[in-house]
Amino acid sequence: MMRSITNRKAARAALACLVWLAVWQAAAAYVGQQLLLPSPAETLRELVRLLPAPETWKHAGLTLGRVFSGTLAGTACGLLCAGLTSFSRLGDCVLSPAMRVVRATPVASFIVLVLLWAPTGRVPAIISALMVAPVVWGGVCRGVRETDAQLLEMARAYRFSRAKTLRLVIAPSCLPYFVSSVRTALGLSWKAGVAAEVLCRPEYAIGSQVYSAKINLESPSLFAWTILVIALSFALEKGVFCAMQRVLRQKGGQAC
C-alpha cells in the first residue's frame, strides 16, 4: 500500500516536471534568443559541464557552509530571544520590537549595511542568521502561548520546578512550532545567503558565479547555477528535516 502511494506521488511529480519543461521549451522557442531565455537542452548541457568540475563543488560547499552556520546561529538566537520574551516582561519589551523590525526590513538593506561592518566572507552567514532568528522566535513564542493551560495548572498543582515545567510541559508544546519554523527559515536563509553572495562576491561562492554569469551574459550558465541552487536548497531542507525527525523519534516526539 505504501509503495503504491509512493509510486503515485513520484508519477505526479514526474508529470509536473514534464509539463513545466514543455512550457519552458515552448517559451524558449517563442523567444528564439539564447541570451534572453536558453532552452532546457542548452541549460542541461551547461549543467552537465559544471557538475563534474571540482571547482563547482568548492563553490557549493563553501556556500552551504556559510548558509548552514548562519542558520544555526540564527536558530540559537531565535530560541534565546523567544525564551526571554516569553518569560520576562522586560525581555518582551526590549526584544519583541527588535525582532519585528528585523523581520520587516528588506534583505537587500541588511546586506548593504552588513557589508559596511563585516568582512566580505562573513556577510552571507550574518544575513542568513538575521533571516532565521525572527522566524524561529515567532514560532517558538507561538508554541509557548499555545501551551495547554490545564497542563500548566497541573504542573503547578504538582509543584513542578520551572525547569521541570519547561522540559515536560512547555518544550513538547513548542516542538511542532519549532520544527515548522525551522523548515520555513531554511528556505529564507538559503535565498538570503546566496543573494548576499551575489552582492558581496566572495572568491568562492555560488552567488559569485551567478553574478559572473550575469555580467558575461552567459544565460545557460546563469540558469544552470540557479538550478544547482534550487537542488541544494531542497537537499539542505530535506537533510535537516530528516535529522530532526530522527531526534524526535528517539525522544518519542513527532515532527509536524
Q: Tell me: the pLDDT tens digits for 195-238?
A: 999 988 888 889 889 989 888 888 889 999 999 988 888 888 88
CATH classification number, 38-250, choose in 1.20.1050.10, 1.20.120.1200, 1.20.150.20, 1.10.3720.10? 1.10.3720.10
Q: How many CA atoms lie within 13 Å of 102's alpha carbon, on the beta-carbon side?
A: 22
Maximum distance among all Cα pairs of the chain, rounded to whole angstroms? 74
**120 contacts 111 by C-beta, under 8 angstroms:** no
With CA atoms as reference, report the closest residue to 47 among 201, 234, 190, 226.
Answer: 226
Give dist(CA 121, CA 205) in Å, integer.
9
pLDDT digit string (tens) for 79-125?
999 989 988 888 889 899 999 999 888 888 889 889 888 888 899 99
Query: 123-145 vs 171-200: helix axis angle to the nearest 10?
Result: 160
Q: Helix %, strand %, coil % for the chain, to 5? A: 85, 0, 15
